[in-house]
Amino acid sequence: MTEPAARLQLQGITKRYPAVVANDGISLSVLPGQAHAVLGENGAGKSTLMKIIYGSVKPDAGQIVWNGQPVQVRNPQEARALGISMVFQHFSLFDTLTVAENVWLGLDRRLKLAEVTRRIEAKASEYGLPIDPSRPVHTLSVGEMQRVEIVRALLTDPQLLILDEPTSVLTPQAVEKLFVVLRQLVAEGCSILYISHKLHEIRELCDACTVLRGGRVTGECDPRKESNASLSRMMIGAEPPELEHHERQPGEQVLQVQALSLERESPFGVDLDGINLEVRAGEVVGIAGVSGNGQRELLYALSGEDRRARPDAIRVGGQPAGRMGPAHRRHLGLHFVPEERLGRGAVPSLGLAHNLMLTRTDAVGRSGWVRVKALQQQAAGIIRRFNVKAGGPLAAAQSLSGGNLQKFIVGREIDARPKLLVISQPTWGVDVGAAAQIRSEILALRDAGCAVLVVSEELEELFEVSDRLHVIAKGRLSPSLPRAQATVEKIGEWMSGLWDAPPAVAAREAADA
């Protein structure tokens, strides 16, 4: 039996940037009805390669062959006309437009907006990816934006679907539903190019894998026949180190939230309802939950971006901080890592050194001049310590891969030696080695006496780093649960807001959710 002709072939694809060769003579082949993984550490060239296929980046050399015919994909519109759709790691959505209007931009212009809205609702319902077509994008959480991108791609009925970290902010239940969708697409003959740092997902979904390192193909395999350890060795040359989690007695209270209730500022937001929370020196407290259940509102209130709380509803180091702005809270030792890397965590066009000024109180000297040399030295130190692949301290934030920018932003806040670190989605989109390093640094910070609050939609991550766990659902916060007593099943029940229900009722309602 002859092997079917390739749906997509890449031949010698090369892309050079001033500071790096992102892709160096890459060749790979994807068959019809095949889920093909592209694996590599941060900065290996995966996202650049996907953008070349999708027409948003032009290669310097090489050939793309589509269904046996050489093609030049000059822009995403031409890619979609061929039957190629892509879900980006960094979302390509217009904040001021609604979900339906964003989706409409990529579809046949002859369609009416009402018809697009109907199709979104139908596709979202069919694939278990709930989203409201009328909501403005700026009101969505990161997880909800990811759903929009996936639904938009599915609406084009693609022959090739490119997914760049599609599950990075989805819950385990949502991932299971998505995989049902993807397997259905593969069975119908759609090809999938899948980028993920979650090795168990690649082994579960994909039947072929191309490994990149330093912009070159260094191996090919059937991931179903590999282990997480062997895939790690192929990708980064080693297995990630085991995390060392030392039991220790927490110290004094650093963060106290008492009866925090806030009405939503956006009609599509979530009301916070009687939030009670404490974090002590030398402990990591984790908050789990499905995206869009009040995480954004709680983080805004804690960071100082929302200052409507009563002064004593939020205390930092014993000081009433509910009405304080972010700068004042930093003086009390609170540092914050937001989930949105570009735009909130970093100014895209500024260099890494100058991005330190966003959170460093010592960036300006007594004379009023910016201490540029000191900033460059600090940035260089963070780049070395966290193994950030960048063209030096002056490299623009937007020039880094998503994972490398995440390492820099997390490193920037850890390097500031905070007394309280509030961190959202700490390892979103980073490779297994970098994820292990970031989690290890969080535990080291905790062991040094820092109070750490981690908000994440990755349960595995929360189980690895947390001493205690809460769940947020519909703007309410569950009681805390010691890590040793937490199970995936219990946390899954609580994600439906059922922590007050009897166990039998909770299990039944969680199964129906």
Question: Which CA distances in Å does 251 have to 15, 280, 465?
Answer: 52, 6, 17
Side chain identity at residue 282, one-letter code: G
Question: Where does 396-478 have alpha helices with state H?
Answer: 402-415, 432-447, 459-465
Q: Rounded distance, CA 492 to CA 448, Å?
A: 32
The pLDDT of residue 501: 59
Mean local confidence (pLDDT), 424-428: 89
pLDDT at 25 over 90: yes
| More confident of the two residues 459 and 238 | 459
pLDDT at 511 over 70: no
The pLDDT of residue 111: 87
The pLDDT of residue 510: 47
Range(s) of the chain covered by CATH 3.40.50.300: 8-236, 253-333+418-512
The pLDDT of residue 171: 64
The pLDDT of residue 506: 47
Question: Which CA distances in Å does 510 have to 16, 71, 443, 446, 505?
Answer: 50, 49, 32, 33, 8
The pLDDT of residue 90: 67
Question: Which CA distances in Å does 507 have to 130, 490, 499?
Answer: 22, 9, 10
Residue with tokens 């969708």: 181
What are the structure tokens assigned to 138, written together? 């700026």
Mean local confidence (pLDDT), 159-181: 80
pLDDT band per the 50, 70, 90 thresholds, residue 503: low
The pLDDT of residue 43: 79
Q: Rounded distance, CA 400 to CA 397, Å?
A: 6
The pLDDT of residue 299: 96
What pLDDT digit, counting tens, does each position of 332-375 carry? 999 999 988 888 899 999 999 999 998 876 777 777 788 889 99
Q: What share of the chain is helix, strand, coil (3-state, %, to 5)?
A: 35, 25, 40
pLDDT at 126 over 70: yes
| More confident of the two residues 443 and 150 | 443
pLDDT band per the 50, 70, 90 thresholds, residue 397: very high
| 275 Cβ contact partners less than 8 Å away, ≥ 6 residues apart | 257, 259, 260, 261, 298, 476, 477
What pLDDT digit, counting tens, does each position of 269-325 carry? 899 999 999 999 999 999 999 878 999 999 999 999 999 999 999 999 999 999 999
Mean local confidence (pLDDT), 88-112: 84
Mean local confidence (pLDDT), 500-509: 55
Based on C-alpha coordinates, what's the Rg of the chain? 23
Most confident of 36-45, 122-131, 347-356, 486-495: 347-356
pLDDT at 168 over 80: no
* CB of 321 closer than 8 Å to CB of 305: no
The pLDDT of residue 109: 74
**Lowest-pLDDT choice from 14-18, 113-117, 197-201, 232-236:** 232-236
Superfamily for domain range 8-236: P-loop containing nucleotide triphosphate hydrolases (3.40.50.300)
Closest CA to 190 of 31, 51, 77, 2: 31
Mean local confidence (pLDDT), 25-35: 96
Q: What are phi and psi of 500, to 5 degrees?
A: -90, -10
Q: Rounded distance, CA 350 to CA 123, Å?
A: 39
Residue with tokens 């082994």: 203
Superfamily for domain range 253-333+418-512: P-loop containing nucleotide triphosphate hydrolases (3.40.50.300)
Side chain identity at residue 228, one-letter code: N
Helix (H) or strand (E) holding 490: helix 488-494
Average pLDDT score over the chain: 89
**Lowest-pLDDT choice from 170-174, 399-403, 451-455:** 170-174
Q: Model pTM?
A: 0.72
3-state secondary structure 227-254: CHHHHHHHHHCCCCCCCCCCCCCCCCEE
